[in-house]
Structure 1
Amino acid sequence: MSQILLFHHALGLTDGVRALAERIEAGGHTVHLPDLYQGTTFATVEEGVAHLQQVGMDEIVSRGIAATAEYRQASVLAGISMGVCPAFKAAQTVPAFRACIAMSAALPLNAYAPLWMPHVALQVHLASEDPWVKDEDLPLALSYAASAEEPDNPADLFEYDTAGHLFMDSSTDDYDEALTDLMVQRIHELLR
């Protein structure tokens, strides 16, 4: 079974992120939850984004990379929204990982290195009507999912019919249990 590093979104390490980790663990996996905000959580996206801007994305990514050294047994990365940045950085620069799961965000495949690591499978989960992703992230993810040529290293994109950016976080108003069930099922399929 897989050991997974799951990086939280801009609201912090919420109860909803912890619940998502438990649902993934129900498939027999272990999910580690590095706290990139060092204990702070926020009730609104505006507050969380303001904190992110104060801390800086470079620092958040550095904290994520430090977590990969702490959890050396992990072979899968996952990130939700803001957490996709450290997940992508580690997937592109740390050879130990076999898969990267991006939820509610997508980055260029060369965001942190000239090429995507060929041995790292990529799975992307985006809400098709999410105003945070539909104009940039979704077209980007469509382009690299369509161009995945290696059958052993697919870039799989899954779209969900919702505008809820954090549809997988049960502690937010965006939460959709049925869509989260489907997403977790797809994550379990990848991990198998």
Structure 2
Amino acid sequence: MAEIVLFHHALGLTSGVQEFAGALQDAGHTVHTPDLFEGRLFDVVEDGVAFAAETGRETLGARAGAAVESLPPDLVYAGMSMGCAYATQLLLTRPGGRGAFYLYGAVDPAWWEARWPAGVPAQAHQTADDPWREQEAEEGFEARVPDAELFVYEGDTHLFADPSTQDFDPVAAALAMERIQEFLGRL
């Protein structure tokens, strides 16, 4: 079983993020869910994005780093939308990561001017018509992450696997969870 650190999206550490983590725990994994927003929750993604910008990447990055300081090095780093960046930053700077998975976006290691660690697989999951979808990030993910798997689901919502949001799509969420569980089983 894997030990996972899961970084939340721009709405904060919602009950849906916790429910997603709980499903992974029910499958036997250990899941840590740091709260980068220190209890703040938002109803609208744009409001959470504005709060993250106001708080600053350095502060949020420092909170993410502090959250894993006492954890073992062989983590699986996971992120949801905004959280993908913090998961990747740690994977690229903290030796020993076993894998990464991303919901609601893909990341390009070139954003950090870094090379993806050898032997570390990754998955990304998002909907085809997600208004926050970044084609260039997906292309960089597929080009610069060996063994990258990109899954695109039908739909036009962003937070499709968070049952606490209006974006929730139970069919896509179940398929993403199935693929993530299979991925974790290979590690």
* TM-score normalized by the length of structure 2: 0.91
Question: How far did 1:29 drift?
Answer: 0.8
Q: Contact (CA 8 Å) 1:4, 1:75: kept in 2 or not? A: yes
2:138 to 141, 147, 152: 141
Give, in whole Å, the separation in 1 of the partners of 2:78 and 2:68.
12
Q: 1:155 to 1:142 in 2, by over 3 A?
A: same
Q: Which amino acid aligns with 1:180?
A: A
Alignment of 1:75-154 (within 5 A): 75-133=75-133, 137-145=134-142, 153-154=146-147
Q: Which amino acid aligns with 2:158?
A: H
Figure out how many residues of one structure are paired with residues of the other and give that number.
185
Question: Could you say what the CA RMSD is over the residues aligned between the two structures, in angstroms?
Answer: 1.7
Give, in whole Å, the separation in 2 of the partners of 1:177 and 1:103.
14
Partner of 1:56: 56
Partner of 2:4: 4
Question: How far did 1:71 drift?
Answer: 2.5
Give, in whole Å, the separation in 1 of the partners of 2:93 and 2:143.
23
Give, in whole Å, the separation in 1 of the partners of 2:106 and 2:158.
13
Q: Contact (CA 8 Å) 2:10, 2:82: kept in 1 or not? A: yes
For structure 2, list consecutive stretches of 5 or more residues without a partner in the other structure: none
Give the secondary-structure state (helix, strand or coil) at the position aligned to 1:131. Answer: coil
Give, in whole Å, the separation in 2 of the partners of 1:116 and 1:146.
11
Question: How far did 1:146 drift?
Answer: 5.7
Q: Contact (CA 8 Å) 2:106, 2:141: kept in 1 or not? A: no
Deviations 1:139-176 (A, max 9, x none): 4324542676xxxx511100011111100111110001
Give, in whole Å, the separation in 1 of the partners of 2:144 and 2:66.
32
* TM-score normalized by the length of structure 1: 0.89
Q: Contact (CA 8 Å) 1:93, 1:112: kept in 2 or not? A: no
Give the secondary-structure state (helix, strand or coil) at the position aligned to 2:183. Answer: helix
Residue 176 (structure 1) aligned with residue 173 (structure 2): no
* Runs of 4+ residues deviating >4 angstroms: none
Give, in whole Å, the separation in 1 of the partners of 2:140 and 2:50.
30
Give the secondary-structure state (helix, strand or coil) at the position aligned to 1:72. Answer: coil
Give, in whole Å, the separation in 2 of the partners of 1:8 and 1:56.
16
